């Protein structure tokens, strides 16, 4: 039975996870979350000012977040943004190259040095996300990652900036990633710092 106490505990747990979000730079060096927000926002603004774009990728619920954020960063933040989860592109590239290459190939085709990639994966272990990050880094693209589940997931150490939610619950991780992306936009891009 759902009780007010259970609901309260659920939201308290989620709030604690958000307050406990962790950030790192490069190969896992811990940095304050505020610094991560500033780095992501700074690179996003620099990219836009230089005529570049933000690219968002994710699978499943993370794909929904990628689409949502691409629209919000464009409409509300005034930054060129796109999500690489078009159904025709995914099925074409998945069929021709394998699903593990669906995002990497799009980054190879559309990414340019100076762009920014936001890679979202609850587990931090999705091969197509990891391959896309490798393609982005090889192409001179700044990479920010959002992951959860195991603390040692490979995505967490793959970006220039990495945000991590310490939970194995998809709902908490996915909602946490959406909240972190919104916070970067609302506090560091729209709010300008």
Average pLDDT over residues 5-21: 96
Q: 43-90: per-residue pLDDT in tens?
A: 999 999 999 999 999 999 999 999 999 999 999 999 999 999 999 999
Q: What is the pLDDT of residue 87?
A: 94
The reported pLDDT for the residue numbered 28 is 81
Q: Which domain holds residue 168?
A: 4-190
The domain total for the chain is 1
Report the greatest alpha carbon distance in the chain: 55
Q: Is the predicted pLDDT of residue 134 greater than 80, yes or no?
A: yes
Reduce the secondary structure of the chain to three states and give it as a string. Answer: CCCHHHHHHHHHHHHHHHHCCEEEECCCEEECHHHHHHHHHHHHHHHHHCCCCEEEECCCHHHHHHHHHHHHHHHCCCCCEEECCCHHHHHHHHHHHCHHHHHHHHHHHHCCCCCEEEEEECCCCCHHHHHHHHHHHHCCCEEEEEECCCCCCHHHHCCCEEEECCCCCHHHHHHHHHHHHHHHHHHHHHCCC
Mean pLDDT across the stretch 107-111? 97
CATH of the domain at 69: 3.40.50.10490
Q: What is the mean pLDDT of residues 88-104?
A: 97
pTM metric for this prediction = 0.95
Q: Is the pLDDT of residue 135 over 70?
A: yes
**How far is C-alpha 139 from the chain's CA centre?**
18
The total of other beta-carbon atoms located within 10 Å of residue 4's CB is 7
As a whole number, the mean pLDDT across the chain is 96
């Amino acid at each position: 039975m759902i009780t007010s106490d259970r609901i309260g505990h659920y939201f308290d747990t989620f709030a604690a996870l958000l307050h406990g979000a962790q950030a790192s730079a490069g190969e896992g060096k811990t940095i304050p979350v505020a610094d991560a927000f500033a780095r992501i926002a700074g690179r996003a603004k620099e990219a836009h000012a230089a005529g570049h774009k933000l690219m968002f990728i994710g699978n499943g619920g993370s794909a929904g977040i990628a689409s949502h954020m691409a629209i919000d960063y464009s409409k509300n933040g005034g930054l060129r943004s796109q999500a690489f989860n078009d159904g025709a592109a995914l099925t074409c590239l998945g069929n021709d190259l394998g699903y593990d290459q669906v995002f990497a190939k799009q980054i190879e085709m559309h990414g340019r040095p100076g762009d920014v990639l936001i890679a979202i994966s609850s587990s931090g272990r999705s091969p197509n996300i990891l391959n896309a990050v490798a393609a982005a880094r090889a192409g001179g693209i700044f990479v920010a990652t959002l992951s959860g589940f195991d603390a040692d997931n490979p995505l967490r150490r793959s970006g220039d900036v990495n945000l991590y939610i310490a939970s194995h619950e998809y709902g908490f991780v996915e909602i946490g990633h959406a909240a972190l992306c919104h916070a970067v936009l609302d506090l560091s891009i729209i709010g300008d710092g």
